[in-house]
A and B are shown apart, each in its own frame.
Chain A
Amino acid sequence: MIHIKDLRASIEGKEILKGLNLDIKPGEVHAIMGPNGAGKSTLGYVLSGRDGYEVEGGSVEFKGQDLLDMEVEDRAQAGLFLAFQYPVEIPGVSNMEFMKESVNAIRLARGEEALSATDFLKKAKAACQQVDLPLAFLKRGVNEGFSGGEKKRNEIMQMILLEPSLCILDESDSGLDVDALQVVANGVNSQRDGKRSFIVVTHYQRLLDYIEPDYVHILADGKIVKSGDASLAKEVEKTGYAWLGAKAEEADA
């Protein structure tokens, strides 16, 4: 699905990713954990092509294409989805309008026909129900006046509708209570079909109780310093990230 090789990236001249390597095959779920400031969110932004994130070196191949050479919308159309940590509001543009344009832009790029209003509505209703959002949210402005938890669920709703190949979840668990966490996790799990891949970025192990990863990577100071299976997350939960200090310096040397 995606091969990330020695990826280096900076923001405003400050290097954040310092040679990151990651290989994800179709159907795999990779969790990225790490302390604050390790570069977890940066990874999501760099992969999705956000302005202001300068790639300094390395390569990323996504479904056989050179990802770093593509525009933001082309990456999205190719099947890369980012669930935002802090989804922004777009006042006056209804969720429904927004998602219909979005779904159809992506369908057209895939060579499929645009959905009719009725077909789209059917899908949108189903997606809403899946993440336990009242249908009224389809008519409200994108994220306008949504609570933190509603915004997160709205992101998952969008993910379900867009049927991407690679989903990057950027701290989709932050600020959620246990019930909401379960709803988000169920939404994600429902999309695991053996082909779709996930990068689950999280600070806490908690989310991984609900979304079981195939691999867990610890990101510290812009590099993956340790990889393992789901048990690595449990280890982190017990010991915290303090032990990483020495490890990161070792890796730098």
Chain B
Amino acid sequence: MSEQIEQAISRKYDAGFVSEIESDTFAAGLDESVIERISAMKNEPEWMLEWRLKAYRAWLKMEEPEWAHVDYPKMDYQAISYYSAPKSMKDKPQSLDEVDPELLRTYEKLGIPLHEQEMLAGVAVDAVFDSVSVVTTFRAKLEEAGVIFCPISEAIQKYPDLVKKYIGSVVPRGDNYFAALNSAVFTDGSFVYIPKGTRCPMELSTYFRINELNTGQFERTLIVAEEGSYVSYLEGCTAPQRDENQLHAAVVELVAMDNAEIKYSTVQNWYPGDENGKGGIYNFVTKRGIAETNAKISWTQVETGSAITWKYPSCILKGDNSVGEFYSVALTRGRQQADTGTKMIHMGKNTRSTIISKGISAGNSSNAYRGLVRMGPNADGARNFTECDSLLIGDTCAAHTFPYIESRNPSAIVEHEATTSKVSDDQLFLCRQRGLNPEKAVSMIVNGFCKEVFKELPMEFAVEAGKLLEISLEGSVG
């Protein structure tokens, strides 16, 4: 493999700075009293605490899953702090003017200005810093349309009936080890409610930032789209460069009622660790949506960060004619490991799903696609199309594909296509002969490989995602 490609993929992480912010951080450790304290910090009603404790008790009896194609030392769950919030957030600032300027600077540095007039028009942002939401923009404008977009901690107090009805309805408390842990200790995240027949007037977006050392981030996002409504939601994530591994165990639940559509996009850029695999985020995430009759759920993810990714955004196609989509770009380099994919559970008649997965492996990384397509006995005429493409850069990385297909209905049609290719020296030479430097050349070739997925991202973010790949691939060519 040519030296230029090796240089072109050497790492550089732009979001690795630490913000000097005084925080209230719980001492490390987890027991029922910690959960009681989290619940008390958030002023939660009794039912919420009960729910958390039940999740915790379930978690204690569960075992950490080991089936994923990833390798890491056992985690010590007593060494993690389960709550950290900037001190300045204690008094609950009422407007942006009252928010600690250092917090605002953090987001500005990340390219997420929180002043509405400076933002991308048409995008509302919820900014979550460690365990709390700092600010949610454009709330007034959204309220006019009847849309609720707020931190989930606030929703639990303001809209308890909605939260109570839907939380855990798609990802139950005891669904899996990390989901159970999240259910016990989740701190913040976003809540979105789109009323019947409403098209959400702007893109909604949540930006997650882990700052404090030795804390985990356990966010919980719940999106409910009532009958005939539409919403497009995007999440972004970054964390400082640290030598210790940090755990991020999130749960996202989507509910799309009849004829509703939810488009959920992720640009994940958690700190991936250094070239020797030291540090980085463990991104162990459960994301699932349920689609009722004629509803559509579309997941798009661009995963470039994290030391380890364990993530399978899934669709339960419950209603007849419902549609599930999964578009994914996962880039691993250095010592990164990713085991990611989706589950499409076809229950209703004529349900359709599409899976387009693009895995890019470089350096000494390992990149696995794991996907399940299940055609239930009632899924007459259901269809799935899956395309899994792997691109290898260099000869020390690995790509794996683990497709699972279960069909219990003879009228269902499942298609699976898979390819593996390399960035060839021929392609690189052509680009360089046309005057492009090796970094530009590799990023252009990789962007071309990902095009089918990028076109699914909201326009403002497609450009961002392209740039992110470029930064990820940028080398320190001297």
Q: Which residues of A contact B (CB under 8 A)?
A: 48, 50-52, 71-73, 76-77, 81-82, 84, 87-93, 97-99, 101-102, 105-106, 109, 141-142, 158, 162
Contacts A90-B430, A90-B444, A101-B436 aside, 18 further interface pairs with beta carbons under 8 A come to A51-B429, A72-B432, A73-B438, A76-B432, A76-B433, A76-B435, A88-B426, A90-B431, A91-B449, A92-B449, A93-B447, A93-B448, A93-B451, A97-B444, A105-B435, A105-B437, A106-B435, A141-B448
Contact: A82 with B433, CB < 8 Å?
Answer: yes
B356 → chain A, closest Cβ, in Å?
12
B61 within 8 Å of A by Cβ?
no
Q: A84-B430, A88-B427 are in contact. Are A105 and B436 (CB under 8 A)?
A: yes
Bitwise interface map of B from 220 to 259 toward A, beta carbon under 8 Å scored 1, else 0 = 0000000000000000000000000000000000000000
Q: How far is the CA of A93 from the CA of B445 in the complex (A)?
A: 7
- Whether A102 contacts B2 by the Cβ 8 Å rule is no
Query: For residue B454, which residue of chain A has the nearest CB?
Result: A92
Q: Interface of chain B, helix or strand or loop or mixed?
A: helix
- Measured CB to CB, the nearest residue on chain B to A143 is B430
16 of the cross-chain contacts (CB-CB < 8 Å) are A51-B429, A73-B433, A73-B437, A76-B434, A76-B435, A81-B433, A82-B433, A90-B431, A90-B444, A90-B445, A91-B448, A92-B447, A92-B448, A93-B445, A93-B451, A97-B444
B351 to chain A minimum Cβ distance, whole angstroms, is 29
Report yes or no: A158 in contact with B434, Cβ–Cβ below 8 A.
Answer: yes
Q: Are A48 and B444 in contact (CB under 8 A)?
A: no
B1-45 interface bits toward A, Cβ cutoff 8 Å, 1 = contact, 0 = none: 010000000000000000000000000000000000000000000
- B406 part of interface (Cβ distance < 8 Å): no
How far, in angstroms, from A99 to B448 measured CA to CA in the complex? 14
Interface residue count on the B side (C-beta < 8 Å):
24
Q: Which residues of A contact B448 (CB under 8 A)?
A: 90-93, 141
Partner of B440, one of A76, A101, A106: A101
Q: How far is the CB of A41 from chain B (nearest CB, A)?
A: 13
| Cα A186 to Cα B163 with chains together (Å) | 71
Residues of A within 8 Å of B431, CB to CB, are 90, 98, 102
Q: How far is the CB of A96 from chain B (nearest CB, A)?
A: 12
Given A92-B450, A98-B444, A105-B440, the answer on whether A50 and B429 have CB atoms closer than 8 Å is yes
Which residues of A are found within 8 Å of B436, using beta-carbon distances? Answer: 73, 101-102, 105
Contact A51 B435 (CB under 8 A): no
Across the interface, which residues of B come within 8 angstroms of A51, CB to CB? 2, 425, 429
Q: Give bound CA distance, A89 to B430, whole Å.
A: 9
Determine which residue in B432, B433, B450 has the highest number of CB atoms from chain A within 10 A of its CB, and name it.
Answer: B433
Contacts of B450 in A (CB 8 A): 92
Measured between beta carbons, the chain A residues less than 8 angstroms from B444 are 90, 93, 97-98, 101
* B424 at the binding interface (Cβ < 8 Å): yes
Closest-CB distance, A53 to chain B (whole angstroms): 11
In the complex, whether B456 has a CB less than 8 A from a CB of chain A is no
Residues of B within 8 A of A84 (CB): 430
By the criterion CB–CB under 8 Å, are A48 and B433 in contact?
A: yes
Distance A87 CA – B424 CA, assembled complex (angstroms): 13
Bound complex: CA of A102 vs CA of B435, how far in Å? 6
Complex contact A87–B432 (CB within 8 A): no
A78 to chain B, nearest CB (A): 9
Which B residues touch A50, using CB under 8 A?
Answer: 429
Q: Residue of A at shortest CB range from B358?
A: A92
Q: Using known A-B contacts A72-B429, A92-B452, A101-B440, determine if residue A109 contacts B435 with beta carbons closer than 8 Å.
A: yes
Bound form: Cα–Cα A51–B429 in Å = 8
Closest Cβ–Cβ distance, residue A158 to chain B (whole Å): 7
A81 CB → nearest B CB, Å: 8
B328 to chain A minimum Cβ distance, whole angstroms, is: 15
Chain B residue, CB-CB nearest to A86 = B426
| A88 and B432 within 8 A (CB) | no
Alpha-carbon gap, A92 to B455, bound state (A): 11
Q: Which residue of A lies closest to B449 (CB)?
A: A92
Q: What residues of chain A lie closer than 8 Å to B425, measured between beta carbons?
A: 51-52
CA distance A63 to B174 in the complex (A): 72
In the bound assembly, the distance between CA atoms of A151 and B117 in angstroms comes to 49
B435 touches A162 (CB 8 A): yes
Would A162 and B449 be within 8 Å (CB), given that A51-B429, A101-B444 are in contact?
no
Cα separation A102 to B315 with both chains bound (whole Å): 42
Residue in A52, A82, A91 with the greatest tally of chain B CB atoms within 10 Å: A91
Within residues 410 to 434 of chain B, which ones have a CB less than 8 A from any CB in chain A?
A: 424-427, 429-434
Q: How far is the CB of B146 from chain A (nearest CB, A)?
A: 40
Cross-chain contact A92 with B451 (CB below 8 angstroms): yes
Q: Which of B427, B434, B444, B450 has the most CB of A within 10 A?
A: B434
Complex CA gap A174/B190 in Å reads: 61
- A160, chain B: closest CB distance, angstroms: 13
Of B438, B444, B447, chain A has the most CB atoms within 10 Å of the CB of: B444
A227 shortest CB reach to chain B, Å: 27
- Of A77, A88, A101, A162, the contact of B430 (CB 8 Å cutoff): A88
> How near does chain A come to B396, taking the closest CB pair, in angstroms?
18
CA distance A51 to B431 in the complex (A): 13
Interface residues in B374-424 (C-beta closer than 8 Å to A): 424
Q: Is the CB of A72 within 8 A of B433?
A: yes
Best-buried of A76, A99, A109 by chain B (most CB within 10 Å): A76
The 9 closest A-B pairs by CB, nearest first: A92-B448, A93-B448, A102-B434, A72-B432, A92-B451, A76-B435, A105-B435, A88-B426, A106-B435
How far does the alpha carbon of A158 sit from the alpha carbon of B436 in the complex, in Å? Answer: 14
A98 touches B426 (CB 8 A): no
Chain B residues within 8 Å of A106, by CB: 434-435
* Chain A residues, Cβ within 8 Å of B445: 90, 93
Closest partner residue, chain B, to A107 (CB atom): B435
CB neighbours of A97 from chain B (8 A): 444
Chain B minimum-CB-distance residue to A80: B433
Q: How far, in angstroms, from A144 to B97 measured CA to CA in the complex? A: 54
Could you tell me the distance in whole angstroms from the C-beta of A171 to the nearest C-beta in chain B? Answer: 16
Chain A residues, CB < 8 A from B426: 88
